[in-house]
Structures are given as C-alpha cells and as structure tokens.
Amino acid sequence: MGHVLAVASHGSSANVSFDECDVCVHQINISDSVPLQWAVPMYGYVMPLLVAITAVTNSFIVIVLYQKHLRTPTNYILLSMAVTDLLTGLTSVPWFVYYYTLKGYITDLAWGLVPFWCYAHPYLSQMVPTIWHTAAIWLTVYLAIQRYVYVCVPSSVHLYCTPRTTKICIVTIVLLAFISEIPELLGKHLEHGIENNRAVCNLRYAPWVLEVVGVQMFYSLYYWFRVTFVHGIPCFLLLFAIYCSMSEQFRLTVRQLFSTRLLFVAQAQATFHGGKRYSLILVDVELLDPKSLITRRSLRANDQRRTVAATIIEMNDHAEPCRKQRVGRQVSFPNEVIEREENM
C-alpha cells in the first residue's frame, strides 16, 4: 500500500499525501504501488520459488527436530524458528500466486478486485507475514541469549534454560509479535464497493486514528516502532550476546594471532574410521621463560611450501621454575611436553 495512495474524488483519482486527507477515503490501487514490470517477475515467479525451497528445507528441519529424543531447550527454539520462517512464506504465497503468477492484476485493472481478495490481500501480503517475521527475529535473539547463558553463566542454566521456561518464552515472543501488529489491524479497515461499473476497494481509518493520533503520526509511530523494536534492538542484542558467549580462550587466541609470535606444531590423531586427522597447536613463543627453557626449532622444507616445526625442550636442574602455561587445543603445549617438564 505505500505512503501515497489514490483518493477517490468524483469518479477520478489523485495522489495526495496523508497530511492532506485525514478525513478522506483511500482507494487502493495495487498495480500503482509497485510497477508491474518489476512486480510480476519478482513476486510472481522468484518469490514462489524461494518460498518453495524454504518450505522444503524448513519442513525437513521440523521433522527432524520434532523427534522425541531431540527435544532439548535449544532444539525447541530451532524448531520454532523453522516454523515461523515456514509460515512467513506460506502466508504470503496465495496472494502473490493469484495476483502476479496467475495474472490476477489483469482482472483488477479491468474490473477491480472481488470482495474476498479486497479484504484478504492486506492480511496475506503484509500483516500476517510481518507477525511471523517479527517472531522469527526475536527467536534468533533468544537463541543467542540462551547460548550466552550456557557458556558464560552455566550456574543459571537450570533456572533459565529449562524446557518449560523455553516454551513459555517462545509463546511470549509469538504473542508479542502479534500485539505489535494490533495497531495495523485495528487502525484501518477495507470496504468493497462499486463505482462506475467497476469494483473498488476503499481504505478507511478508525476514528481514533483520525481524531486522536492523525494519519501521518500513526504511520510515523508505526515505522519508528518497527525500526527500534524489530530491527535495531534485536540486532544490538544479537551482536552483544554472540560476543559475550565467545569463550575467553577463543578471544585470547584471536588476540594472540594478531599480536604475538606463534609456533605452529602439527599433531596427528587417529579417527574413528582408522584414518588420520591433523590438528595445529599454537605455542606462544613470547611467553617462554628463557632462563628455564631452551627451545630449538628444526625447519625442513617440504615442496618449498610447507614447513614442519619440531620443538625440543630441555630443562636445567638448577634453573628457576618455569611459569605455568595454560593447556588447550588452540593456544597450549601438548600434554606430553607438560608431563616431560614435571618428570624432570
């Protein structure tokens, strides 16, 4: 529907702004809101294809996560996200298929919309998909917050990440998403009529919009509400939760990759299928104590591109005790090196 609509006046139509028509009736002209040369290929062919792909993939996710042995708090959120994404596409497809794929716009331009599509198209094209889309956004934020609790506040998992609490939060998010669209649902309504032997679909605003808020203020408040609570705040919370849920060891590794000299030590491990898997262990050379550890590197060229670093550490019996290094998969010494130090 757009912010500039056609207004019926003595059988003709003119484009006016909301400030100029607080008491008038807006005649809906769908073909003027989006040029047909762009809308037909995008909404008539690309959109149904994308929705079909989304429906198939999300249906598989729902089938898998609905298994009884996979019903965990995290999977409840993932299942809800799949359902909301699925409904976002499916609720808008009937209108797009009718109007653009099946060329319903030709009938609309010639004779106007039938009563069913006059009343149904704002719900199918905008309001209902917006509800599910808003719910999907906040479910993504809730998933990030839950991961933050698991990683950074594990002592509170039994309070905030139980199946019952997760279900309550999911239902609350969906209800709040529905409440956010109540002004759109109650602030205006459509009327079907006949003018000059042609069906017309007129938009009327509720009395409280015209007398209390005003049309321009109504749309401004709705716009900034969505910018703030549907896009801005969720984006900030998502980035904040993701950063905070990163483990301290991972953040330390990222910092050291760009600030210190590291020695890459290859380590081979046997896999379940009998093969070999190679992992790299990062050794911070700058943290070694030169008084207690003597490090020698032996580098051999491999096809003039690859190098293998071998570290031999010897300890003097009368040397000062070395500082303890943290052991990990990414920034650490191998376990056998630590054991060698303790035995010497």
- The answer to whether residue 17 scores a pLDDT higher than 50 is no
Number of other residues whose CB lies within 10 A of the CB of residue 243: 11
Tokens of 301: 């060229």
For residue 246, which phi and psi values (nearest 5 degrees)? -65, 135
Averaged over 268-275, what is the pLDDT?
Answer: 54
pLDDT, residue 309, reads 39
What lies within 8 Å, CB to CB, of 84 at 6+ separation is 132, 133, 135, 136, 139, 174
Q: Helix 163-180 to helix 73-90 angle, to the nearest 10 degrees? A: 30
User: Once rounded to an integer, what is the mean pLDDT over residues 62-82?
Assistant: 93
- Looking at residues 44-65, what average pLDDT do you find? 95
Q: 119 pLDDT exceeds 90?
A: yes
Task: Kindly list the distances between the CA atom of residue 32 and the CA atoms of 20, 45, 218, in Å, as whole numbers in the listed order.
Answer: 20, 19, 22
pLDDT of residue 56: 96
Q: What is the pLDDT of residue 267?
A: 57
The answer to whether the beta carbons of residues 136 and 84 sit under 8 Å apart is yes
More confident residue, 340 or 29: 29
Q: Using an 8 Å Cβ cutoff, are 286 and 260 in contact?
A: yes
CA 65 vs. chain centroid, Å, equals 19
Give the neighbor-by-neighbor strand order of the sheet with 26-27: 12-16, 5-9, 26-27, 198-205, 188-195
Q: What is the average per-residue pLDDT within 89-112? A: 92
Residues of the chain with pLDDT > 90: what percent? 41
Report which of 259, 260, 276 is spatially closest to residue 268, judged by C-alpha positions: 276
Burial class of residue 73, CB neighbours in 10 A (0-12, 13-18, 19+) = buried
Residues 235, 228: Cα–Cα separation, whole Å = 10
pLDDT, average across residues 19-30: 64
Measured distance CA(51)–CA(49) in Å, rounded? 5
Burial class (CB within 10 angstroms; exposed 0-12, middle 13-18, buried 19+) of 44: buried
Q: How confident is the model at residue 84 (pLDDT cuts 50, 70, 90)?
A: very high
Q: What is the mean pLDDT of the chain?
A: 76
Long-range contacts for 159-168 (Cβ within 8 Å, ≥24 apart)? 161/73, 162/73, 163/71, 163/72, 163/73, 163/76, 165/73, 166/73, 166/76, 166/77, 167/76
State how far the Cα of 169 lies from the Cα of 163, in Å rounded to an integer. Answer: 10
| Amino acid 30: pLDDT | 85
Distance CA 12, CA 2 (A): 19
Whether residue 40 has pLDDT greater than 60: yes
Q: What distance in Å separates the CA atoms of residue 342 and residue 340, rounded to the nearest whole number?
A: 5
Which region among 55-64, 186-195, 247-256 has the lowest average model confidence (pLDDT)?
Answer: 247-256
Residue pLDDT, tens place only, 126-183: 999 999 999 999 999 999 999 888 888 888 888 889 999 999 999 999 999 999 999 9
Q: What is the pLDDT of residues 203-253, one digit of tens each?
A: 899 888 888 888 899 999 999 999 999 999 999 999 888 888 776 556 666
Q: Given a cut of 60, is residue 9 above it in pLDDT?
A: no
pLDDT at 176: 96
pLDDT at 328: 38
Distance between CA atoms of 61 and 55, rounded to whole angstroms? Answer: 10
Among 332, 275, 288, CA closest to 314: 288
**Looking at the whole model, is its pTM more than 0.85?**
no
**Residue 274 confidence (pLDDT) above 70:** no
